[in-house]
Amino acid sequence: MAGRGGVTYDISTGIQTWDGVVPTQCQPDPSILRLSADLAWVPAREPIHADIDARMTDGIGPGMSFANAVLTKDPNSGPIGLVPCAVGGTAINQWQKGEFLYEQLVKRAQMAQQSGGVYRAMLWYQGEADTLSQEDAQLYEGRLKTFFNDLRSDLQTPTLPIFQLALASGEGPYIEEVREGQLNINLQNVKCVDAKGLPLEPDRLHLTTQAQVRLGEMLADVYLGFMPTSSTTNNAPPTSFSTSVPRVLIIAQIFRCLWMFLTF
């Protein structure tokens, strides 16, 4: 998810506006960086996808609260870099191998790895657009498995941990069919977190700012519960965004879109 927390829609004008409110849990931190659209490391701040999903009005997403929660609960983890790749309104078939979004994801992941990164996990929250069609909803589980397997293969990480979320909402009537596919995924090192019940914006589709914060914290808890915590202190931020060498790459596909997280 690129994140639409705090974004309102004026029906009369058709204009979307972000309220600009950044919760404490999403504030910038010297130890949190992000890979820009120009493939440069810059300080991370909301909206994280401003230059990635540029055709949409972006707001608060789960990325900053996730990163801040990881740093708070595992202070020895070292700096974290976020590599956002989200594109709102996309279906799972647009993330299949050979499609533009898939190839762009792989390219950005590989670019991050070339800085010295080691892939550690993927966070996935997607599927709203697949609730519009019964056929797409029924095919969702198989397409999702194919995506996971192809990505692991192309990144040469066959046991890459994947933390996916089951839908909280959807654009069409087949929400439960897509959720069933998500909850039924049975692959090694794939964990599912249920986002159902998190508060939604008035459009009944996008998560509120506080829901995005909570989602990031939920993901951090699952991630830290699965991954070993750091045993040595590494709290110092990199001395240069362009020359810093990453230690751990965490990839995340979130809610119709795509993220990646990179720990230096």
Question: Residue 252: what pLDDT?
Answer: 46
Residue 3: its pLDDT value, please? 73
Q: What is the pLDDT of residue 262?
A: 57
Six token digits for residue 84: 């956002």
Distance CA 248, CA 250 (A): 6
Q: Report the pLDDT value the prediction gives residue 132, as an integer from 0 to 100.
A: 96
pTM of the shown model: 0.84
Question: What confidence score (pLDDT) does residue 20 get?
Answer: 87
First to last CA, the chain: 23
For residue 33, the cross-strand partners are 43, 81
Ordered by start, the domain boundaries in the chain are 31-227+256-263
- In our burial notation (b when 16+ CB lie closer than 10 A, e otherwise), range 99-132 reads eebbeebbebbeebbebebebbbbbbbbbbbbbb
Which of 27, 40, 146, 41 lies closest to 96 in space, CA to CA?
Answer: 146
pLDDT at 239: 36
On whether the CB atoms of residues 222 and 55 are closer than 8 A, the answer is no
CATH number, domain 31-227+256-263: 3.40.50.1110
Which residues fall within 8 angstroms of residue 142, CB to CB, at 6 or more apart? Answer: none
Radius of gyration of the chain (CA): 17
What are 151's two structure tokens? 């990505």
Blockwise average pLDDT, block size 10, the chain, 264 residues: 72 82 94 87 89 79 91 87 83 96 89 76 87 97 97 93 88 95 95 90 84 92 82 42 42 45 55
SS in 3 state form for the chain?
Answer: CCCCECEEEECCCCEEEECCCCCHHHCCCCCEEEECCCCCEEECCCCCCCCCCCCCCCCECCHHHHHHHHHHHCCCCCCEEECCCCCCCCCHHHHCCCCHHHHHHHHHHHHHHCCCCCEEEEEEECCHHHHCCHHHHHHHHHHHHHHHHHHHHHCCCCCCCEEEEECCCCCCCCHHHHHHHHHHCCCCCEEEEECCCCCECCCCCCECHHHHHHHHHHHHHHHHHHCCCCCCCCCCCCCCCCCCCCCEEEEEEECCCCEEEEEC
Size of the chain, expressed as the number of residues it contains: 264
